[in-house]
Amino acid sequence: MKPLQLAAIAVLAATSLAVQAQGAGPTDPQIAAIVVTANQVDIDAGKLAEARSHNKDVREFGKMMVTDHTGVNKAAVALVTKLHVKPEDNPTAESLKKGGEENIAHLKTLKGHAFDTAYIDHEVTYHEAVIDAIDKTLIPSAQNAELKALLVKVRPAFVAHLDRAKELQAKLGKM
């Protein structure tokens, strides 16, 4: 496993640990910040893939990440605005942001097949980790029923993305 994948897993593992250490899950304002950051990180990576990849499948995947995560973020922001929940920064959101920035910095050093493989590998790990966080931390911790419902509603987006990322990973592996 590559260092970056390990880093991504470590971030999400740290999420669970940090939450457990507090004795309780993240608050709704913290969940809001985590959701927005998680989407933004993947929008940024998607934009880079759209611009840099020479592989049509990878570019289309990147475009889908931008479209879908932008849509999810719009829905999330609309809801928290309506609920008067102000996203509150927290260690999980911070480490997600840092992980995202490191991923982009690493991807920028790569070209061609190496770029595609690194991007897609990271997308697989990232979506697995986010689904895990949604299931084990975010949904169980959400207090507001509408926020919880939104998390339940957007979860399949991450599953669909993971499915497609794994398909591409297999395809790229054969190239």
Partner 1 sequence: MHAVDMRRRRFAAAAAATIAAIAGATGARRSFAAPGVYTVVIDGFAFKPAELTVARGDTVVWRNDDPVPHTATAKGVFDSGSIAAGASWKYVAKKPGRYPYVCTFHPIMKGTLVVR
Binding site for partner 1 (CB under 8 A): 64, 67-68, 71-72, 74-75, 152-157, 159-160, 163-164
Contact present, 26 and 19 (Cβ < 8 Å) = yes
Q: Least distance from C-beta 37 to partner 1, angstroms?
A: 17
Give me the least distance between CB of 125 and partner 1, in Å please. 19
Cβ within 8 Å of residue 67, ≥6 positions away: none
Minimum distance between the CB of residue 136 and partner 1, rounded to whole angstroms?
A: 19
Shorter beta-carbon distance to partner 1: residue 19 or 43: 43
Q: Shortest Cβ distance from residue 24 to partner 1 (Å)?
A: 28
Q: Which is nearer to partner 1, 20 or 67 (CB)?
A: 67
Nearer to partner 1, 67 or 81 (CB): 67
Q: Which two tokens stand for residue 16?
A: 């669970």
The beta strand positions in the chain, using DSSP E, are none
CB crowding 16-40: b at 16 or more within 10 Å, else e = beebeeeeebbbbbbbbbbbbbbbb
